[in-house]
Amino acid sequence: MVEHLKTYCDLILNNNGASRDMFNAPKELYPQLRALDPRDFEQAKRAEFMLVRGRFEHLVNPNRHEVISGTSVSEALKQLREVLDFYSGEGTHLDSRTFAFLREPELVEIVKRDYRELSLRLHPSHSWKSSVVLAGSILEAILYDVLSGPRNQANANSYVAGHSQYRRQGAIVDGHWTLQALIDTAIQLQILRLQDKDIIHQTLRDYRNFIHPAKEIRTQNSVGKNEAGLAMNALNVVIDHLQKTFTP
């Protein structure tokens, strides 16, 4: 996508901006700029990219009665073209998310793939409900791996077997545990912090259940920007905590 943006800028600027193309440029470019993550630019240029993106947002949504000049569009295109050369590649900022606390290689790849999609595609594109659903799915994969490992499997199974509401779900390796059971077991075994229990349940389990339209209708609630932001933050709290404290 970035190469396409560069080519587009070059075409407009090299043609000295035919008036129609020049004034259409901000509307064409801004949705694509919004999808780019500033953290995927070289560190020294991240703030500049955010300023450029804000400039394009203003060009698309100017103040009332404000007239956008061709010069202002041309300057914004030049600034954008320069900063795009410092793009490091999609998802490069996620290298710090190694998920080293996970055991199963195939599951690690799935979690990395889904976390990348959540962070770079769904959330930046304002796909709020999809963001919450995928965040909950990532948490489920993480907790399954952590609890089914040799360090925790026996204690996890013992905890669930002792609670009637979860007993029928069987052993964890059977793969039938609900996200609620995974969260409660991880809290009980002190893998997750008790202080995070309520926020994890609400933002990553309850909100995810809105994948069922009947529940969304019944509760008269919907998932929006704030709920998606809370889900993202809760997921990152879990990941940060496990990266610091858990060894498979």
Question: Comparing C-alpha atoms, which of 103, 140, 97 is closest to residue 116?
Answer: 97
Q: pTM score, two decimals?
A: 0.64
Identify the CA nearest to 188 among candidates 155, 165, 166. Answer: 155
pLDDT of residue 18: 54
CB atoms within 10 A of CB 3: 9
Length of the chain, please? 248
What are the per-10-residue average pLDDT scores of the chain (248 residues)?
Answer: 89 72 86 89 84 92 85 92 88 72 93 86 83 92 96 96 90 92 95 90 69 50 78 90 91
Residue 169 is predicted with a pLDDT of 92
pLDDT (0 to 100) of residue 222: 67
pLDDT value at position 1? 82
Q: Are 167 and 160 in contact (CB under 8 A)?
A: yes
212: amino acid identity, one letter: H
Q: What is the structure's pLDDT at 106?
A: 93
Per-residue model confidence (pLDDT) at position 217: 44
pLDDT at 202: 79
Q: Which whole-number Å values give the CA distances from 120 to 38, 96, 113, 123, in the listed order?
A: 10, 15, 11, 7
Name the residue among 207, 202, 211, 142 with its Cα closest to residue 177: 142
